[in-house]
Amino acid sequence: MAQSATDELRLPWTGEFSPGQLGDRALEETLAIVGEHAGNRVAIVDAIRERWFADAASSRADPAERLKQQLTRSGNVLNGAQNYGLVDKGYALTDLGTELLAETDDARRRERFAGHVLKSRHGLELLDVVRYLRERAIGINKATLAAELRRRGFQLTTNASEPGKMRQWLGTAGVIDDAWIIDDARVAEITGTSLGTIGEWQGLSKAARAFLGTIRRLAETRGTGPIPSAELLDFVREEHGPIFDEAQVSKVYRSLEKDGWVEHFVTRSGRGGKGGAIAATEKLLNVDFELLLGFRPGDLPADLRAVMTKPLDLIYEELQSDDTYIKGLALECLTVNLAIDLGLLPLRLRVRGVRTGGAEVDLLAEGTHLQFSRWLFQCKNTKSVGVGVLAKEVGMATLLQAHVVVIATTGTFTGTVVNYAQRVSETTPFQVVLADEEVLSAYRVGGAPELRSIFRRDAHATMQLKRPQVLETLEELTDDEA
């Protein structure tokens, strides 16, 4: 499953926040209490006490001690809800908590929460541990669960009650029962991915995962048609670096095809080799990639997604349309295609071309080319671009914490823009790339390989511009040390 380098392996501490402690309507009622008293911890804890713990600690003779114990247990409910991602640090409902509270169908609410637990709170890892123990005929209890979780790197409290309480939450959606019997069909229904597929993914090599990640990303953004092998290899190198041996590519293809992840189409001359074309299968397209890899398609409008696979020639023709909607959509398609063919993931349009008569589009995109980078694209369908456009984008790049600013135009740039772009690259952390009508024409003819070739040359030129920045700093540091 996807996990960042800083993500600590720990099941959420639940405290008193569990169906076993609070009853079948624990989720609904806790959300309602926090929603009613949002931001007021004292009021929330007191309301929880009134609902569940007003008669608790009855054996304590001192009323003050009894109240203290009740409030402690009530506070543990709130802390548990926070650890499960339902309540924020300001004691208000998170977006997830708000969405679940607004859900009118109790069964659907519990299903959505179980999906969150499985995907975001290590629930799938817990189920995998259960499956592992059962396959080896090891009894499933608090001790064996804790031992196996710790063997896998999880940090658990001494009491280790977290697995059992998580099982209770998953049980409310029918994922697992009191006897620790997993309903695999229910897991697949909620997550979109079976435990078997997850186990299969975990057994893949780093190179195989990289290939599948790139193929799936391209399928999400460029369509599901076959990708020429040479182009795919170029994308994988750009995105993941030198993680595979060129001589082993055919073996990777055969293995992925054998396991049903991809289809490999080869010509006679390419039979048995690394040529031909690769396409994602339904298995790869249907798997939940956010679950496995942290991959999440960008938030692009539905009408744009429906036409993103248009050929470049048609996009360029529609840029000349008299219909402003067609022209605007074509500019959006061009902008998104630029990002995709650079190996980036388009996230969101800030300015829709269809609303500006097809004159401009702003797009935010991100990439993981060995290291993370954020890109801001401004595409203009105008004869000339002045310096004000670049000045605005540099300001937006600062606000959005972008690293690269790309200004593309079907026309030309004024000399002032070119000079300003060079100055920005020389004196700031930003990189500015200008793509005029000549670059876009070359892209139209040569496609993604030509576009990346142009951007590589620009990156080399930018490196030369920026080199004095570090040299001057190093000289200053040397003088200080002396």
**pLDDT on residue 1:** 46
Residues 402 and 463 in one domain: yes
Average pLDDT over residues 75-99: 96
Residues 288 and 327 in one domain: no
Q: How far apart are CA 172 and CA 25, in angstroms?
A: 10
DSSP state of 151: H
108 in a domain, yes or no?
A: yes
478 in a domain, yes or no?
A: no
268 pLDDT band, cuts 50/70/90, is low
Q: Any idea what the Cα angle at residue 289 is, between residues 283 and 295, rounded to 5°? A: 145
- Could you read off the pLDDT of 24-79 as tens digits, one per residue? 999 999 999 999 999 999 999 999 999 999 988 778 878 899 899 999 999 999 99
**pLDDT on residue 79:** 96
123 in a domain, yes or no?
A: yes
Question: Which of 171-185, 327-341, 360-374 has maximum average pLDDT?
Answer: 171-185
Cβ proximity of 407 and 335 under 8 Å: no
Q: H-type helices in 1-62, by residue range?
A: 19-22, 26-36, 41-48
Show which of 181, 197, 213 is a domain's final residue: 197
Look at the chain and report how many structural domains it folds into. 3
Residue predicted with more confidence, 283 or 479: 283
Residues 193 and 222 in one domain: no
According to DSSP, the β-strands at 404-409 and 371-380 are parallel
Q: Mean pLDDT for the chain?
A: 86
Residues 161 and 223 in one domain: no
pTM over 0.85: no
Q: How far apart are CA 260 and CA 282, in angstroms?
A: 9
**pLDDT on residue 404:** 93
Show which of 274, 293, 312 is a domain's final residue: 293
Cβ neighbours for 14, distance < 8 A, ≥ 6 positions apart: 80, 83, 84, 161, 162, 165, 166
Burial degree of 431 (CB within 10 A; 0-12, 13-18, 19+) = buried
Residues 371 and 440 in one domain: yes
Give the length of the chain: 482
Which residue bears the tokens 């000349």?
Answer: 320
8 pLDDT band, cuts 50/70/90, is low
482 in a domain, yes or no?
A: no
135 pLDDT band, cuts 50/70/90, is confident
Residues 277 and 310 in one domain: no
Burial degree of 326 (CB within 10 A; 0-12, 13-18, 19+) = middle
Q: What are phi and psi of 261, to 5 degrees?
A: -85, -35
6 in a domain, yes or no?
A: no
Residues 279 and 324 in one domain: no
Here the CATH number for the domain that contains residue 425 is: 3.40.1340
**pLDDT on residue 4:** 39
Show which of 293, 319, 339 is a domain's final residue: 293
Residues 158 and 261 in one domain: no
Residues 277 and 368 in one domain: no
Here the CATH number for the domain that contains residue 241 is: 1.10.10.10
Residue 204, pLDDT > 60, answer: yes
Taking residue 4's Cβ as centre, other Cβ atoms within 10 Å add up to: 7
- In a 13 Å sphere around the CA of 124, the CA atoms on its Cβ side amount to 25
**Among 44-53, 193-202, 313-322, where is mean pLDDT lowest?**
193-202
Q: How far apart are CA 25 and CA 423, in angstroms?
A: 62
Reading the block at residue 193, the tokens are 């991915």
87 in a domain, yes or no?
A: yes
State the residue range of the domain holding 249: 204-293
Residues 87 and 127 in one domain: yes
Q: Which of 336, 218, 222 minimizes the C-alpha distance to 284?
A: 218
Residues 30 and 62 in one domain: yes
Residues 277 and 393 in one domain: no
